[in-house]
Structures are given as C-alpha cells and as structure tokens.
Amino acid sequence: MLSKAKHFFIFSIILIVFSSCKNEIKQDVTSAETIINTDSLTVVQVDAQKYPIWILEFQKFRQALYQNDLPVIKSFFDFPLTTEQADGLLAVINYNTNKDFRKATNLQSEEEFTKYYKQIFRTDFVKGLLPMKSDSLLQNNYASSTSWKVKNDDAQYSTSVSYDASDKSVSISLDSAYGIEEDGNEDNKTESAAILIFIINKENKLKFDRVIMAG
C-alpha cells in the first residue's frame, strides 16, 4: 500500500509540473501574439498620424487597384453613377482603347461598372501609380511617374496625382504625349490626359466625382 501511495504521489507531482510548464508556454505564445499585434497597430497609428486622410485614402485605392480588389475599388464609387459620371468614364475607356462603348452600356450601374472597370484602370496606368511616394504627395500635394511606352504606340505615357485643398479633390491622371523625337526634341509634341477627380466627403472617404478630358 505504501509503495502504491508513493507512486501515486510522484505521478501527481509530474502532472502538476507538466501542467505548469504548459501554462507557461501558452502564456509566452499569447504574450508574443500581443506584442506582434501591438507593433502592427503602432505602425498603422504612426502612418495615420503622419499622413492626411486624402493620402491614406489614395494609398487604399491604389492598393485595391493593384490587387484587383473589386469590392474595395467599388467602395470609391457611389452607384448608380450619374449620367455625367458614366459618360466621363466611357470617355476614359475610349481614351484607353480607341473603342466607343456608348451603344454597349451606359455604365451607370454597379453591374456594368464591374464589366468594364479594367478598361478604365488599365494595367500600365495602375503600375504607374505604384512608385509614387507618399512623402512627395505630403510635401508638394503632387507626384508624377516616369514616362513609359506601349508596344505599337507612338505615345509616351505617365501618371500624376495632385490634391487641391480648396475643394478637397484628388486628381488621378493618365497623361500621354505624342510627337516627341527620339533625340528628345519636343517641338512637335502634343499632349492629352484622362483625369479622374475624387472628392474627400464629409465622412472622410474618397469618392469619385467626375472626369476631365484634356487635350
């Protein structure tokens, strides 16, 4: 009986020690997760403190375009679009594709936007937005990309973003220049642009407002 009691006592001690170690490990893991989450939150808070809301909203929109995150992209548009807004986006599609889609769609509904949004935000346009530095936007309320060319196209393209504090508008532009000689001579240069205007609303959200076609 004494031997059995001794074995039971030793077994109980082992269980207690094991349970204690397990709890310590669990607490260590929990502490590590808390530290990670706290660090991530700190980064977000610092970013939010450093940049004004229009830059944060532009960053969010640019990321959604790059990741092809359609639900987030659509959150920057209020559907149904007005006739003026839809006609403007159709003009952008024509600018990008040299095709007139006015007979195919009025582009006012969310469903129609879903069909054609990739022709509004062409791939090279989105890529042109990626290198833009938030610090440049902060300092100058403006940033632009380097120019690039598209195969079988004589134009040189670039993108630019600007902010107008007077009406809280953010302009995102796809710019094209024709007639630039190989040696850089710009005597015969002509320029045009498709400019999408967004407004920071009362809820501090960036929302599509209108299109301006220039040139």
**Would you give per-residue pLDDT tens digits along the chain (215 residues)?**
445 444 444 444 444 444 444 444 333 333 322 223 333 334 445 567 789 999 999 999 999 999 999 999 999 999 999 999 999 999 999 999 988 888 888 999 999 999 999 999 999 999 999 999 999 999 999 999 999 888 877 788 999 999 999 999 999 999 998 865 565 665 667 889 999 999 999 999 999 999 999 97
Tell whether 36 is covered by a domain.
Answer: no
Tell whether 61 is covered by a domain.
Answer: yes
CATH code: domain of residue 193: 3.10.450
Count of domains for the chain:
1
Tell whether 100 is covered by a domain.
Answer: yes
SS (H, E, C) the chain: CHHHHHHHHHHHHHHHHHHHHHHHHHHHHHHHHHHHHHHHHHHHHHHHHHCCHHHHHHHHHHHHHHCCCHHHHHCCCCCCCCHHHHHHHHHHHHHHHCCCCCCCCCCCCHHHHHHHHHHHCCHHHHHHHCCCCHHHHHHHCEEECCCEECCCCCCEEEEEEEEECCCCEEEEEEEEEECCCCCCCCCCCEEEEEEEEEEECCCCCEEEEEEEEEC
pTM of this prediction? Answer: 0.75
